[in-house]
A and B are shown apart, each in its own frame.
Chain A
Amino acid sequence: MNDTLLLGAVSYDPKVVTIWEGFQQYFAERGLPFDFVLYSNYERQVEAHFLGHIHVAWNSPLAWLQSEQIAARLQRRASAIAMRDSDCDLTSVIVVRSDSGIGGVADLKGKRVAVGAQDSPQATLIPLLVLAEEGLEPHRDFEVVPFDVLLGKHGDHIGGERDAARALLEGKCDAACMIDANHMLFQQEGTLPGGATRSLLQTPLYDHCNFTVLDDAPAEAIAKFRSLLFEMSYADPQVRRLLDMEGLKQWKEGRAQGYAMLDRAICRFGTIDPFVDQVVEKCS
């Protein structure tokens, strides 16, 4: 077991098991002993990573920032070694009803804004940051209506955003925050009927998940892991099945510069401070 590369992932959906079983087989067939551990939430996974239980973590953007901050406090180093093509350059939108008379961000003053889970970067933290930077402080200048589905999954579950979109249509709130891909999906599936809504604001670009390693990760196995990831071709039908499930066409080099907005958001809202303190204390 010692030479087996151990990956941690969060089980936000039953398909996660199928995905990582598939990756395990892919790596095994190419000479990389690989196994995975599933956590029910990202906080558990980040802590386990620092306790040395796993070598690589498939991290949400928030879990990445948690890891980065904990590493800095412990004089260690976290790096993002790979990510999906679909993790790069995302945006979120704030949507209002077409007939609402809300013409600009300032009109949200005193209104009810539906967001996703409290720990969702795309449906809560980043949109609220953008509003705050435009001068509208959440909870003070407008009411935040959270649609928490599965806290600890960092918004990976789509349910919260869909509930927020429904609440908007039903008039239970005045605006709803969601990732751009869901904005398209909700229109296609009819959750947002054509013409009923329009977007008030689109956030700047930001990045999503990455594979995170710490400075003590086994270098050789990690190098092999990376090169096998980058070799995965959408033209290979076996691989394509896995890529389709995981929602990418190809793996990309990891990059850390796409998390600046989220970083500002958690600094401003103090989102992860207690958790970071707790892990640092446990590992010191």
Chain B
Amino acid sequence: MQLDLGDLTFARGGALLVRRAILRCLPEETLAVTGRASDLAIDLRAWCRGEGHTLLRCEAGPPLDAVIAAGPAVRQRWQGAERAGGMDTIHPHPPRRWGLAARGALVEAGTPEFRFALDDKLPVWSEDAARLYAQAAAAQWDPATAVPWDTPFELPDEVEDAVVQVMTYLIENETAALVVPSRFLAQLHPHFKEVMQLLAIQAADEARHIEVFTRRAMLKRSQLGLSTAGGQASLQTLVEEPDFAIATFLLSVLGEGTFLSLLWFLQHYAPDPVTAAVCRLAAQDESRHVAFGMSHLRSHLAGEPALAAKLMNAVHKRHDALRHTAGLNAEVFDALVLMAAGSWDPEDLAFGYDAMDALLADMHTQRIRRMLKLGFDEAQAEEMSSLHTRNFM
């Protein structure tokens, strides 16, 4: 084969052309290289030595007149290489040696192994992941422009305080919702690319929720509200749950599912347009988080029916662990009532309590509906829903 490098120097382009030509040579075929740049012969000799090629002739010129016999190393490097699965076929147990390689890439033998704890398809995979990821990517909103921050409003002091307390509570729960998927994301085999992407964008959603709730809380105040031991104890059981399926069930199906009712409630009774907007935007994202939890748990349960008992146990265990904690703090409860009531007027307060009752009933109904969809029977769903944490998440 013939290759003319023209005026290219070897270090800045020539090496690329020579490497490409050598790959195209047939076995035993030699490569004749010519070129007019100065110093070509110097660099070509050094390069061939480093790559294990033999220089059969090297007249420096210029012009250069060289002949290369390719060494075996180029081919040897790719002996034993394997594809990291097919682009669109999901391996039930992708090997560690595929590491971070793109699904479908040709992986050099001897690539270091990565220890990803979540490397089984069944517990993590969902056929909906790609669709949900695309939806999430398209639905990303800019906190700076999606919320009407500058709309003027003035609330009675105590109503504003109630909003600040609710926001403080939401931020804490959003933080748990960010930390939990992130921990699993870091342990997931990248072969499950769509799930990895979805968990990443889910964490980004939560980051925005934290941002907008913080910004709403600080709109009229210089300090946040209260964080209670009971609330954090409840969230700690989520953060420390090591099992992906259980954590998903508790966080996404039961917790974020319950939060959906809460966020729509807040949007509905919001005393100001900013509160309404931030709760609506968060609720829209949360529905995707719930959908993904439902989707991969459904396929996991289909492949491993015994998981159902494990999930029920987990709900019991969490309930027992939290039995002696306070659950939802009274300040948050009262703040929710006051937000729905709109004032301390007794008639309004009675309305606020009714609204709160309706919210709790809706949360319960929705949890039961989702568990029935996962295949639990009425009695099981009823029992698990009533054992769900009083902290909502």
Q: What is A's interface to B at a CB cutoff of 8 Å?
A: 85-86, 88-91, 93, 179-181, 183-184, 187-188, 194, 198-199, 202, 233-235, 237-238, 240-241, 247-250
Contacts and interface: CB of A to CB of B under 8 A. Distances in A.
A249 B73 CA distance: 6
For the residues of A in contact with B, the DSSP-based class is mixed
Contact of A85 (B10, B46, B49, B109): B49
Given A184-B11, A187-B12, A237 B42 contact: no
Contacts of A181: 46, 49-50
Contact of A93 (B12, B42, B49): B42
The 6 closest A-B pairs by CB, nearest first: A237-B110, A249-B52, A187-B11, A235-B76, A180-B46, A237-B109
B94 to A, nearest CB: 19
A250 B45 CA distance: 17
A91 B58 CA distance: 13
A42 to B, nearest CB: 22
Interface of B: 9-12, 15, 38-39, 41-43, 45-47, 49-52, 60, 71-73, 76-77, 79-80, 108-111
Contacts of B12: 187-188, 194
Given A86-B49, A199-B39, A249-B51, A188 B11 contact: yes
A123 B74 CA distance: 30
A240 B111 CA distance: 11
29 contacts: A86-B49, A91-B45, A93-B39, A179-B46, A180-B45, A180-B46, A181-B49, A183-B39, A183-B42, A183-B46, A184-B10, A184-B11, A184-B46, A187-B11, A188-B11, A194-B12, A198-B39, A199-B38, A199-B42, A202-B41, A202-B42, A235-B72, A235-B77, A235-B80, A237-B80, A237-B111, A240-B77, A240-B110, A250-B73
Q: What DSSP secondary structure best describes chain B's contact surface?
A: helix
Contacts of B38: 198-199
Given A93-B39, A184-B46, A237-B110, 9 more contacts: A85-B49, A184-B10, A184-B43, A187-B11, A187-B43, A234-B52, A240-B77, A248-B52, A250-B52
Nearest to A85: B52
